[in-house]
Structure 1
Amino acid sequence: MKNLLSDPIAPGIALLVMVSFAVLGLPEWLGAHRWWATNVVVWGSALGALLWWVGARFAVAALVPSVLLVGLGAMAARFGKAAFVASYAENALAGRFWFFGWITLCAGVFWTVAVLARRSKP
């Protein structure tokens, strides 16, 4: 496996997608809390970059796990938000699922975009 630093295009494209995601306010529009909508993109991008690096370093076919991570994060965020709102902000565990679900979702999106950008290269 060649050196990942010689191919910065894939994580660069993923970072551009995530910055656009945050600047356009899509996390808040899709259900993230407005106070931490940008934070989940930042933390998720950092985690996604780490996952992409580890996956590429060990030459793992990473498309399936990255898409599964997106789905897992979306489910955790959706059900965490529903339980948190239904409890009138009393259920702290549901709030954490909502928050960390969004971080997981953003990490999965970064990882998926980076894997797809790397695969699309000739």
Structure 2
Amino acid sequence: MNESVNESVNRSVEELQRRLVEFAAARRWQPYHTPKNLAAALSVEAGELLEIFQWLTPEQAARVMDDPEGAHRVRDEVADVLAYLLQFCAVLGVDPLEALAAKIDRNELRFPVPDGPVGPPARSR
């Protein structure tokens, strides 16, 4: 990513985090926004995203965005997951984009491009 795009993305993430912090503060929710509670909420919302796909075949799952109601549900759950993740990062002072970039760097070293046939991805740690 070039530097100006990177700066724009960082500003966008920071702006979303600021809006989420202000939203919670206006409702006096900060005492409840502990790392444990936010991690639990993030897990619940990720579970709700998974629930959409729970009994779908791979073919049905690949077409879920073709249905307006299904697409709406997916977008809402993605938003909930991202919102809780950004709030979690704000509380702990984690830069999510920096953390992701560092993780990708480590994974590129851990999982070099194979020479032969490719299998399923290994579980990331």
Using the size of structure 1 for normalisation, the TM-score is 0.44
Answer 1 or 2: higher relative contact order, Cα 8 Å, separation at least 6: 1
Using the size of structure 2 for normalisation, the TM-score is 0.43
